């Protein structure tokens, strides 16, 4: 187990951050100021967040604590089998990798959407 905390923002969390959600704002702040806190924005989810609220993608991509995850070939192949690109890219990004051996947690304001999925969820609706 690693002490690092890896969190993937889904498109609902990205939208919530742009609307002043306190928990989303705290995650962004901690990822910027705390070592071993990592916050990821999968590109496909970033597109969906920007469609719902124009300007979201540019704003989040400019924040120093957020890493935008490109869609690589393995991700594209995983997404091709799913219904929505945003959710599929988030789920793919949350899986364990050599850089994230414990995987990542998906931050969301729609936790019910992730029911039955093989991901850990952080509900931003507190």
Tens digits of residue pLDDT in 25-74: 999 999 999 999 999 999 999 999 999 999 999 999 999 999 999 988 88
The strand pairing partners of 106, in sequence order, are 8, 121
**Confidence class of residue 76 from pLDDT cuts 50, 70 and 90?**
confident
> How many residues are present in the chain?
126
How far is CA 81 from each of CA 15, 64, 74, 75, 86, rounded to the nearest angstrom? 25, 32, 12, 10, 13
Instruction: Identify the pLDDT of residue 118.
Output: 87
Homologous superfamily in CATH for domain 5-123: 5'-nuclease (3.40.50.1010)
| pLDDT for residue 119 is more than 90 | yes
What's the pTM? 0.93
Residue 53: per-residue pLDDT? 94
């Amino acid at each position: 187990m690693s002490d690092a905390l890896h969190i993937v923002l889904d498109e609902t969390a990205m939208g919530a951050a742009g609307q002043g959600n306190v928990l989303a704002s705290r995650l962004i702040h901690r990822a910027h100021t705390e070592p071993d806190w990592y916050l990821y924005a999968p590109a496909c989810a970033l597109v969906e967040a920007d469609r719902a609220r124009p300007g979201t993608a540019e704003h989040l991509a400019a924040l120093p604590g957020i890493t935008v995850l490109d869609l690589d070939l393995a991700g594209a192949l995983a997404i091709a089998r799913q219904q929505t690109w945003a959710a599929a890219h988030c789920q793919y990004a949350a899986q364990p990798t050599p850089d994230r051996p414990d995987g990542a947690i998906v931050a969301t304001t729609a936790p019910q959407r992730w029911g039955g999925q093989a991901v850990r969820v952080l509900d931003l609706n507190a």
